[in-house]
Chains A and B, each alone.
Chain A
Amino acid sequence: MSDLSRSDVEKIAYLARLELTEAEKALYQRQLSAILHYAERLNELELDDVPPTAHAISQQNVMREDVVETPLSMDDVLFNAPQTAQDQFVVQAILDE
């Protein structure tokens, strides 16, 4: 692959919802390109017939009894929020009128 372009970096930053300064964009363009080049050594491996490993020790369908537990109190849940009202988290409007 070729190096990341400035617009690649801007696109990734948008997907990740990160506001970057111009200096950060330049830095990450250079550093991410170097790291991705390093990762290209994985192309030396023949992987077509190798199954992926997401979890080294994987458990499937871990179930528990359907018993109601005591949840955190509303005060505890809202305690760390930057803005609350009427027992809810307050955010800016997402939909236009």
Chain B
Amino acid sequence: MNEETTHKIMDLTNLTLTELQTALQNGETTSTAVTEAMLERIVAIDNDIQSYLTLTDELALAQAQEADERRARGDDSPLLGIPLAVKDMICTEGVQTTAGSKILEGFVPPYDAFVVRKLREAGAVILGKTNTDEFAMGSSTENSAYVTTRNPWDLSRVPGGSSGGSAAAVAANLAYGALGTDTGGSVRQPAAFCGIVGLRPTYGRVSRWGVVAFASTLDQVGTFGRTVADCTAVFQTIAGHDPHDSTSLDVPVPDYEAALTGDIRGLRVGVPKEYFVEGIDAEVETAVRTAIDKLAELGAEIVEISLPHTEYALPVYYLIAPAEASSNLARYDGVRFGPRVAGVDMIDTVKKTRALFGPEVKRRIMLGTYALSAGYYDEYYGRALKARTLIKQDFLNTFDQVDVIVTPTTPTTAFKIGEIADDPLQMYLQDIFTLSVNLSASCGISVPCGFDSQGLPIGLQLIGNSLQEATILNAAYAYEQAANWTGAMAEQPL
């Protein structure tokens, strides 16, 4: 392509989602034009990043054309004609959904997940399915059975995980926004590593119907955007009650976009001392402390708080999540979907078929099976459920005193591919600041708050009480507008 065309494509793919909304509303561009630009950019650079597992280019162009026709008829839905990416943990009718696993290779769902249906009804364009650690178990996408996604800031580093494909796609301007899933930090941690915004809503705020199950009391769909407003726009569309998911909450959906006022005067912001301890990178701590000063400048009241059971969150999580996973993943037996590896009898067939699971998934199935097995249930799973009560209570007590809790999203910036892949406990420690949100009834968001000396993005986590997404979104928005990292975060090298 000539230089002029390259420049034009860059301009369109550089737009934020909200800038694109305006451009589409003003007739300055069309969904077809931006979808073509996105697909061209994906073809040009995604070989280096590997954020997409499946590209649905023909479908996307058809959706774009339909969106342009809807707009011509006067439709002005917020996501109309906007190209987005969907994590491959989320079912898409007629489009292969693998959960990053060989055991679902070739699986074509007969229906859309609730969240995908919401996006389609809103007229969004779905570009494709993004890479994930197998069954969302991991913090780097290195556990994907297909590819390892690379961090757009440094191709030798991981994008985080498990929703690393979605995060890398949004960071590299290969989608205007994306869906991920967050069971222990799988939206917030990759958002932090890739320099974008990632929201994990309160459990039940978004339907899990049609989402491949990992740990059913912890799983929740979350959204990515290059800005808080972008992240909010996608979240606004997918939030809400779904009768097909009995854990989905039947409570009204606020106008989150209207909540983004940038005014946080008087907001009580808690800083938990347990999150600034040994193991946290000094540059991460400095960036987060500087961000907290910025919140104070904006009129927030900073309060030192304590979440005394923080150190127990990791062992609790790594008993409960594998226990739930071992039960959920029992369904993969080569009978109703996925490949079958034939053995001498039925049990042998099931065992051989399940050998298609990758090493981390097998490890967690083994761990969960043990924690639930006769003689060990009380000692492991039972104790974990009780300790979960104490962690949840920490948060409920704290939200009597403060509106928002602020922490680093991750202890370090993005690590090198292969650096900790052989040490499961080291990998699990990646989630140490995020997984308490999942264990309690909280919601959390990661927003960029600077770079380390290697030029890698750092994330600030804001945690809110149940269903207080509007509060954390506005706090993140106020910080984002004042600290103004958005321009620098858009300068990723690719």
Give chain A's interface residues, CB within 8 Å of chain B.
Answer: 1, 4, 8-9, 12-13, 15-20, 24, 27-28, 31-32, 34-36, 38-43, 45, 47, 50-57, 59, 62, 64, 72, 76-77, 79-83, 89, 91-94
CB-CB under 8 A from A93, the residues of chain B are 345-346
CB-CB under 8 A from A35, the residues of chain B are 318, 367, 424-425
CB-CB under 8 A from B146, the residues of chain A are none
User: Complex Cα distance A8/B388, Å?
Assistant: 27
Q: Are B246 and A62 in contact (CB under 8 A)?
A: yes
Q: Chain A's nearest CB lies how many Å from the CB of B437? A: 10
Contact of A19 among B111, B334, B351, B439 (CB under 8 A): B351
Q: Are A39 and B319 in contact (CB under 8 A)?
A: yes
Number of CB contacts from chain A to chain B under 8 A: 161
Q: Are A53 and B389 in contact (CB under 8 A)?
A: yes
User: Can you sample 11 A-B contacts with CB below 8 Å?
Assistant: A16-B365, A19-B355, A28-B363, A36-B370, A41-B311, A42-B312, A42-B383, A52-B386, A54-B217, A56-B388, A93-B346
Q: Are B357 and A34 in contact (CB under 8 A)?
A: no
Number of B positions contacting A (CB below 8 A): 68
Q: Are A57 and B249 in contact (CB under 8 A)?
A: yes
Q: Chain B's nearest CB lies how many Å from the CB of A31? A: 6
User: Complex Cα distance A59/B247, Å?
Assistant: 7
B contact face: mostly helix, strand, loop, or mixed: helix
Does B416 make an interface contact (CB < 8 A)? no
User: Complex Cα distance A68/B492, Å?
Assistant: 52
Does B349 make an interface contact (CB < 8 A)? yes
Closest chain A residue to B428 by CB distance? A35
Closest chain A residue to B429 by CB distance? A38
CB-CB under 8 A from A34, the residues of chain B are 424-425
Given contacts A32-B367, A76-B110, contact A50 B217 (CB under 8 A): no
CB-CB under 8 A from A39, the residues of chain B are 315, 318-319, 380, 384
Q: Are B335 and A53 in contact (CB under 8 A)?
A: no
Q: Are A57 and B441 in contact (CB under 8 A)?
A: yes
Q: Are B339 and A82 in contact (CB under 8 A)?
A: yes
Enumerate the 9 nearest inter-chain pairs by beta-carbon distance, A residue then B residue, closest first: A52-B385, A76-B110, A80-B337, A82-B340, A56-B441, A19-B351, A62-B246, A47-B386, A39-B315
CB-CB under 8 A from A59, the residues of chain B are 204, 246-247, 249
